[in-house]
Amino acid sequence: MSILPQLAFILVLGIAGYILSKRIAFLRRNILLGKGETRNDQAEKRWKTMLLVAFGQQKMFKRMVPAFLHLLIYVGFLIINLEVLEFVIDGIFGTHRIFHPVLGKAYTVAMNAFEFLAVAVLVSCVAFLVRRNVMKVERFVKPELKGWPAMDANLILVIEIILMVAILSMNATDQILAQRNHPQYVLLDGLFFSGLIQPIFQGMGDGALVAIERIAWWFHIVGILAFAVYVTYSKHLHIFLAFPNTWYSNLKPKGEIENMPAVTKEVNLMLGLATDGGSEAPAEVGRFGAKDINDLTWVNILNAYSCTECGRCTSECPANLTGKKLSPRKIMMDVRDRAEEVGKSLDTGGKGLEDGKSLLGDYISKEEINACTSCNACVEACPVNIDPLSIILQLRRYVAMEESGTPAQWNAMFQNIETSFSPWKFSPSDRFNWAEKVKNEEIK
């Protein structure tokens, strides 16, 4: 028997592994362009969050129909890819269905389960294509999804459909060859779903069946390897990053806005309050807020690469719902696009962060960030715990503290808060006068 197929398989596996390793290094470097932040506290709670939100799909089920379809694809992805292990072993050693002698009848049960999930994935992908392109669900036709993002979503669904068809075609032709006692092919007790399409191939000769079975086998395994590489360029990177992203979630109450440590320390020193860093004045802060991705934290950039572009954040955003320009999904896409731009520039010997561009201004406008109400609806809606509000607040802090560029009405409010401890310009001692009026009305 020729070993060329085995050598070809090992070569393909090696190429895919090399490209994937290079891309992973690229993504890691881009994420670490952000400032350091430690989020390893409350390990037990973080494990629980990751298991419930990323693995258990907890937040998906706020919308039952897409959640159920997504669950079928998710479970199918996890379980069907167990079969890839057999593909790899067979490809390297030139065997065929190597696990069958080990598992016996359980192998047929497992294959029927894989085929059921393959059909479920196929049906779910078709349903998602209909939702995006026929029903045109509103959150899938927003301006930020024009062009490549829309094509990416459709392309991955089509690829998944083709991969599932390849599995069923491979099994159908494989079993016809086994029924004809063709060498190497193993007759199973019965595969239901691929058995339904066997009549399509029954009239073909052995040579044609072998060709179809081998093409389907190669297409599936090469498709899986190509898919693994492709997702690192796609929104579907969330398949892998959802797990670390939920682990590093912000576990503080959503209404708690984090203060800037350097500013907090300086204020405490001015007030004579104790600080963690002692009585020394804080070192000069390089920049207040964020103008570019290196001013954000690495967790913010990880959030951006974990974005599924599902649009649940934008569909819940009150600013967007009232016609404002803000779209939390676009914020995350912009951060990722800027990180990609800087990363590619660094890899080609370019200027990187010194290219004359910045996240604020070239990607995200002041109009967008000023429209945010800080309500956390986007954070609550995200199925993988992404926090667009954190990025928006850091950009607004830069505009306010570095550029003094906030709207005049906001500056008046800020001044009132500083002097009167409320947004309204009246003395703090008059704050509860309304209560006296109510009391007098009740007495009357």
pLDDT in tens, 117-148: 999 999 999 999 999 999 999 999 999 999 99
CA end-to-end span of the chain, whole Å? Answer: 104
SS3 40: coil
pLDDT > 70? residue 432 = yes
Distance separating alpha carbons of residues 177 and 339, to the nearest angstrom: 51
pLDDT of residue 307: 95
Return the HEC string of 306-367: HCCCCCHHHHHCHHHHCCCCCCHHHHHHHHHHHHHHHHHHHHCCCCHHHCCCCHHHHHECHH
R_g of the chain computed on alpha carbons: 28
Please list, in sequence order, all residues whose beta carbon lies within 8 angstroms of the beta carbon of residue 395, skipping any fewer than 6 positions away.
Answer: 289, 290, 291, 359, 360, 364, 369
Angle (CA) 136-140-144 rounded to 5° is 135
Name the residue ranges covered by the structural domains of the chain.
4-31+63-247, 261-428
Longest dimension (CA), the chain: 104
Give the residues across from 315 on adjacent strands.
none
3-state secondary structure (DSSP) of residue 187: coil
Provide the pLDDT for residue 339: 97
- Per-residue pLDDT reduced to its tens digit, 255-270: 888 888 777 877 787 7
156: tokens are 């991955």
* Helix count and strand count (H, E) for the chain: 20, 0
Asked whether the predicted pLDDT for residue 373 surpasses 80, the reply is yes
Q: Are the C-beta atoms of 239 and 77 separated by less than 8 Å? A: yes
266: Cβ–Cβ under 8 A, 6 or more apart, which residues?
Answer: 281, 282
How far apart CA 38 and CA 215 sit, in angstroms, is: 49
How wide is the angle at C-alpha 98 spanned by C-alphas 95 and 100, nearest 5°?
Answer: 140
Question: pLDDT-based confidence at 45, cuts 50/70/90?
Answer: very high
Q: Report the candidate in 308, 314, 322 with the shortest Cα–Cα distance to residue 138.
A: 314
Q: Which residue has the higher pLDDT, 358 or 278?
A: 358
pTM here? 0.87
Which contiguous run of DSSP H or E holds residue 160?
A: helix 148-179
- The secondary element (H helix, E strand) that includes residue 48 is helix 43-49
Q: What is the pLDDT of residue 285?
A: 60
Tell me the pLDDT band of 408, cut-offs 50, 70 and 90: confident
Asked if 381 contacts 242 with a C-beta cutoff of 8 angstroms, the reply is: no
Fold designation for 261-428: Fumarate Reductase Iron-sulfur Protein; Chain B, domain 2 (1.10.1060)
